[in-house]
Amino acid sequence: MDDDLRRVPRAALVDALRSVPPDAPTLCEGWQARHLAAHIVLRERAPQRIALGAVRGQDAAVALGDGADYEELIREVEEGPSPLSPMAWSARTNVLEFVVHALDVLRASDNPLVRDRELELTPGVRSMMWSSLLPILRIGGVRRAGRTAEVGIIVVVPHGPRSVVARGERSVVVTGPEEDLALVAMGRARHARVTVTGPPEAVAAFREAMDWPAA
């Protein structure tokens, strides 16, 4: 399984980056595809440059992305960190981030052939994503939205696992594949291909609390 966790999410991100030009938009505000690629390179190969704070880290990614060859950046993402780097110690570290960043690239595209591309994820990767998602859903913005809307929240993967994120007298059910539930959890709900079902007033209140327009 560890080999899948190392290989599959990284391959999904690399494939997404190669499917768009360097100046393509992404779901990361202010970043083009080349900046996202540079962010990964810095994170894995020069973490001290982004450890100084989010703003400086963003500046470093923009500077590197603007100044480097895009294909070279992608090649460095594909190669990954040095075996001696702390970033290489755990195959689980990058699973959720790489899958979400792959969708950051694809879902922002104006080309439907790119935007509608599905990620090829193995059962092992999906299982790890689910395990990583649950803590974020239970303590992050989705749960806070449930409290604001005064609704319970249940997340469901079709033909897969389900979990109660928050309990309430009335509940909404958010259904979708792991990668789209990840977009919801990571503040990208507007671009997630999920369904929200439940009592109409509960669904409306939840969507409003999430700043998530009705489908």
φ/ψ of 58, rounded to 5, equals: -65, -40
20 SS3 class: coil
Q: What is the pLDDT of residues 138-183, one digit of tens each?
A: 999 999 999 999 999 999 999 999 999 999 999 999 999 999 999 9
Q: What is the pLDDT of residues 24-42, one digit of tens each?
A: 999 999 999 999 999 999 8
> Is the pLDDT score of 118 beyond 80?
yes
Strands 171-175 and 195-197: antiparallel
69 SS3 class: coil
Domains of the chain by start residue, with CATH: 2-119 (no CATH), 124-209 (3.30.1050)
Q: Mean per-residue pLDDT for 8-27?
A: 97
32 SS3 class: strand
Q: What is the pLDDT of residues 77-102, one digit of tens each?
A: 999 887 767 666 666 778 999 999 99
